[in-house]
Amino acid sequence: MAEGQGKSSGSGHTAADGGAKGGFPPFQKETFASQLVSFFLAFALLYFIVSKIALPRVANLLGTRQGMIENDLAQAQKFKDESDTALAAYEKELADARARAQAIGAETREKLAAQSEGERKSLEDSLAAKLAEAEKTIAQTRQTAMSNVGAIASEAAAAIVQRLTGAQPDARTVESAVNASIKG
């Protein structure tokens, strides 16, 4: 932009003047030495402060925080592991208890089934015995009744024969005839 101007003004420098007059300021050569000296002093100071104080400090801060976070994460992981083991133990306990309950249930069911089976059998047995006894009674009664039937039939036959013939039939003959007819 104004390089020519700057070059021309560069030679006519006087120490008394700070160099603000004439030319484009960034190209005023008489200001270069002052700026360079200030710049190197300032930058050296900055470099010293940054490398010796500021950066180690911030690095330390970040490191502390990182360490804290890692520590906390490790702790959280530990707690999680602990709770996982506790959960596993609880689940195992629960499964065991369930298995035990099932075993008890099955046992009880079997026992009850066996008991009721026994009761049923004994009931059936007693019923069968009663049935047999009843059948025997029926058979006896029928036999008695049958023998009574024979006697009644003989008497009735004898009475009928007497009425028809007027003669008293032989009791033994009537009886055999009745018996034969009942059997026939």
Partner 1 sequence: MADPIHQFEIQKIFSLGHIGGQEIAFTNSSAFMFGAVALISALMIGGTAGRHLIPTRIQSTAELSYEFVADTLRSSVGEEGMKFFPFVFSLFMFILTANLIGIVPYTFTVTSHLIVTLALALMVFLTVLLYGIYKNGFKFFKLFVPHGIPIYIMPLIMVIEVISFLSRPVSHSVRLFANMLAGHITLKVFAGFVTSLSALGALGIFGAVLPLLMTTALTGLELLVAFLQAYVFTILTCIYLNDALHPGH
What is the closest distance, in whole angstroms, from the C-beta atom of residue 73 to partner 1 in the complex?
15
Best CA proximity match to 10, nearest among 25, 157, 60, 143: 25
Pick the piece of the chain touching partner 1 (CB under 8 A) from 57-65, 98-106, 115-123, 145-153. Answer: 57-65
In Å, the largest CA–CA distance within the chain is 198
9 lines the binding site for partner 1 (CB under 8 A): no
SS3 184: coil
Residues 6+ apart with CB under 8 A from 11: 29
Contact status: 57 vs partner 1 (CB under 8 A)? yes
Fill in the per-residue mask, 127 to 146: x = in contact with partner 1 (CB under 8 A), - = not in contact: --------------------
Which residues 6+ apart lie within 8 Å of 28 measured at CB? 6, 9, 10, 19, 22
Confirm or reject binding of residue 76 to partner 1 (CB under 8 A): no
Contact between 47 and partner 1 (CB under 8 A)?
A: yes
Instruction: Please identify which residue in 4, 8, 66, 68 interacts with partner 1, judged by CB under 8 A.
Output: 68
Candidate residues 4, 12, 50, 77; the one interacting with partner 1 per rule CB under 8 A: 50
Asked whether 30 and 18 are in contact (CB, 8 A), the reply is: no
By rule CB under 8 A, what count of residues binds partner 1? 40
Determine if residue 172 is left, alpha or beta; phi over 0 gives left, psi from -120 to 50 gives alpha, anything else beta.
alpha
Contact in structure between 171 and 154 (CB atoms under 8 Å): yes
Restricting to residues 146-175, which ones interact with partner 1 according to CB under 8 A?
none
Q: How far is the CB of 13 from partner 1 (least distance, A)?
A: 8
73 belongs to the binding site for partner 1 (CB under 8 A): no
Q: Phi/psi at 9 (nearest 5 deg)?
A: -80, -20
For partner 1, the closer of residues 46 and 146 by Cβ is 46
Binding status of residue 31 toward partner 1 by CB under 8 A: yes
Q: First CA to last CA across the chain, in angstroms? A: 160
Footprint of partner 1 on this chain (CB under 8 A)? 15, 17-20, 24-28, 30-40, 42-43, 45-47, 49-51, 53-55, 57-59, 61-62, 64-65, 68
